[in-house]
Amino acid sequence: MERPRILVVGGGFAGLECARRLERKLAATEAQITLVAPFSYQLYLPLLPHVAAGVLTPQSVAISLRRTLHRTDIMPGGAIGVDPRAKVCIVRKITDEVVAEPYDYLVLAPGSVTRTFDIPGLVDHARGMKTLAEATYVRDHVIAQLDLASATLDQAERESRLQFVVVGGGYAGTETAACLQRLTTAALDRYPRLDPRLIKWHLIDIAPRLMPELGEHLGTRAMKVLRDRGVDVSLGVSVAEVSEQSVTLTDGRVLPCRTLIWTAGVAASPLIGTMDAETVRGRIAVTPEMRVPQFEGVFALGDAAAVPDLAKGDGAVCPPTAQHSARQGRRVADNVIAALRNQPLEPYYHKDLGLVVDLGGKDAVSKPVGVEMTGVPAQLVARGYHLMAMRTNVAKFRVGCNWLINATAGDDFVRTGFLARQPARLRDFEYTGAYLTKEQIREHTRALHVGH
């Protein structure tokens, strides 16, 4: 008898945790497990600002799927469409070959993409911080601005190259601004021609408070740390227009600037739009057990799913965080196994473990299990949490060594040039135009049935 086919889409926190647990709890004879992922690593997303700042190497936060999974088939590609009625997922391999992959159980964990708005010039000139390639590009780009500013005799050009804008006052934006501001400050010793007063970092957010999830006290403390370093934090303000050499804000200010880093939230993967499924603010609606109620054998979780937050109640859904995604992955694996064995499914319920925000160096704010911490103790908690959350000892060792090397030897501020002169728009890094229409999905499904 052919084994049931479990197809897991996405190799992030949710997908990897699900596949790992399926491996541990299912006998090899019970099911065939396949993971669809465009890269052979799980990206440890919370530490991307450290990659952009050169504190960590890119390989440090790329956790090997093949070191973590042992009997899961890994398909190198991305899911670009789903036909849940025919139980088929359309996958574009990294060779661009498109295949129709049948399944008995489907776990959708495709994650999210950077959320953008209809702001003139935004999609053409903004840089993201959602992928490893984007973080690597941002580092090269920031160092290039220092190089070019140091080489030019044009004062206006110099000023525009030395102003940097980060949009988004959540964890990603705050940590990105904090880490990159430290990078440019530390680099000044290598650029004797640059006036330190010309280097200016701006952190912009439309919300009235920075990182409101931390609470008023810690959010205010984080803002004070940034402002003491010279970062201009502007709240209640957004971007009105972006051009190659300037950023116009909604309060009327026009900043001469050639670097806009956009971290203002995420949207569910466009894969969700290929299905006729109910959504909640763009995320696929699921039950507390993370089933997609319209379709048999389909589960969804992580950033792409509106998972009810039973701990909060009142119709709240879980925020798109790594902590939730990893826990949901384990619960979905248990529920897939329960479905296989005709056992009852369990709802997802979580206990909040707290939050950590690494501002670089000795600066951090943390709130583990409700205890507010700042400074070095908060930094130890933040980095200890990240090491604990990584799934391989090799990754933990690499990250720990990188932190130690950077703390003792500093940075050489070198541009790699890997992405020089390549398109660097959000859609170029996040492949948002790769998904199929419903008619194209039906064509691939028909082709699969004809082939059989």
Alpha carbons 415 and 210: distance in angstroms, whole number: 31
Which residues does residue 299 pair with via DSSP β-bridges, in sequence order? Answer: 107, 291
- Nearest 10 degrees: Cα torsion 378, 170, 38, 62: -20
DSSP 8-state assignment for residue 317: B
Alpha carbons 271 and 424: distance in angstroms, whole number: 22
> At residue 120, what are phi and psi to the nearest 5 degrees?
-55, 125
Same domain, 257 and 271: no
Structure confidence at residue 423 (pLDDT): 74
Same domain, 151 and 161: yes
Which tokens go with 33?
């497990």
Alpha carbons 51 and 10: distance in angstroms, whole number: 22
Structure confidence at residue 445 (pLDDT): 82
Angle of helix 13-25 relative to helix 322-340, nearest 10 degrees?
Answer: 40
Same domain, 160 and 236: yes
Same domain, 235 and 191: yes
Q: Number of helices (H) and strands (E), helices first, in the chain?
A: 13, 25
Element of type H or E holding 440: helix 438-451
Same domain, 158 and 85: no
CATH of the domain at 132: 3.50.50.100
The candidate with the shortest Cα–Cα distance to 247, out of 184, 198, 181, 203, is 203
Is 57 within a domain? yes
Check: CB of residue 238 under 8 Å from CB of residue 210: no
Alpha carbons 218 and 267: distance in angstroms, whole number: 27
Residue 216: burial class (beta carbons within 10 Å; 0-12, 13-18, 19+)? exposed
Whole-Å CA distances, 389 to 40, 45, 96, 203, 383: 19, 11, 33, 28, 10
DSSP 8-state assignment for residue 127: E
Structural domains counted in the chain: 2
Query: In tens digits, what is the pLDDT along the chain, a chain of 452 residues?
Result: 689 999 999 999 999 999 999 999 999 999 999 999 999 999 999 999 999 999 999 999 999 999 999 999 999 999 999 999 999 999 999 999 999 999 999 999 999 999 999 999 999 999 999 999 999 999 999 999 999 999 999 999 999 999 999 999 999 999 999 999 999 999 999 999 999 999 999 999 999 999 988 888 999 999 999 999 999 999 999 999 999 999 999 999 999 999 999 999 899 999 999 998 999 999 999 999 999 999 999 999 999 999 999 999 898 999 999 999 999 999 999 999 999 999 999 999 998 888 899 999 999 999 998 899 999 999 999 999 999 999 999 999 999 999 999 999 999 999 988 777 777 778 788 877 789 888 888 888 877 655 44
Which residues does residue 75 pair with via DSSP β-bridges, in sequence order? Answer: 36
Is 190 within a domain? yes
Same domain, 341 and 371: no
Q: Where are the beta strands (DSSP E) in 228-330?
A: 232-235, 239-242, 246-249, 254-256, 259-262, 266-268, 279-280, 283-285, 298-300, 305-306
- Number of CB atoms found within 10 A of residue 438's CB: 14
Structure confidence at residue 1 (pLDDT): 64
Same domain, 100 and 224: no
- Give the residue carrying structure tokens 């720990």: 400
Whole-Å CA distances, 149 to 46, 162, 243: 30, 7, 19
Check: CB of residue 401 under 8 Å from CB of residue 124: no
pTM of the model: 0.94
Which tokens go with 251?
């309060």
* Domain that includes residue 310, residue range: 5-114+267-350+429-451
Structure confidence at residue 227 (pLDDT): 96
Q: Give 241's contacts (C-beta < 8 A, 6+ positions apart).
A: 119, 120, 121, 247, 248
CATH of the domain at 97: 3.50.50.60
Same domain, 288 and 307: yes
Structure confidence at residue 334 (pLDDT): 98
Q: Give 246's contacts (C-beta < 8 A, 6+ positions apart).
A: 160, 254, 255, 256, 257
Structure confidence at residue 448 (pLDDT): 66
Same domain, 416 and 285: no
DSSP 8-state assignment for residue 86: T
Which tokens go with 209?
């408070």
Structure confidence at residue 285 (pLDDT): 97
Is 365 within a domain? yes
Is 324 within a domain? yes
Same domain, 275 and 190: no
Alpha carbons 320 and 339: distance in angstroms, whole number: 26
Structure confidence at residue 354 (pLDDT): 84
Is 119 within a domain? no
Same domain, 236 and 369: yes
- Number of CB atoms found within 10 A of residue 170's CB: 20
Provide the residue type at 191 as one letter.
Answer: Y
32 three-state secondary structure = strand
Is 54 within a domain? yes
Alpha carbons 53 and 181: distance in angstroms, whole number: 9
Alpha carbons 127 and 88: distance in angstroms, whole number: 34
Structure confidence at residue 218 (pLDDT): 92
Alpha carbons 1 and 87: distance in angstroms, whole number: 19
Structure confidence at residue 398 (pLDDT): 97
Alpha carbons 205 and 218: distance in angstroms, whole number: 17
Element of type H or E holding 203: strand 200-205
Alpha carbons 18 and 15: distance in angstroms, whole number: 5
Structure confidence at residue 424 (pLDDT): 78
Same domain, 61 and 86: yes
Structure confidence at residue 53 (pLDDT): 97
- Number of CB atoms found within 10 A of residue 63's CB: 22
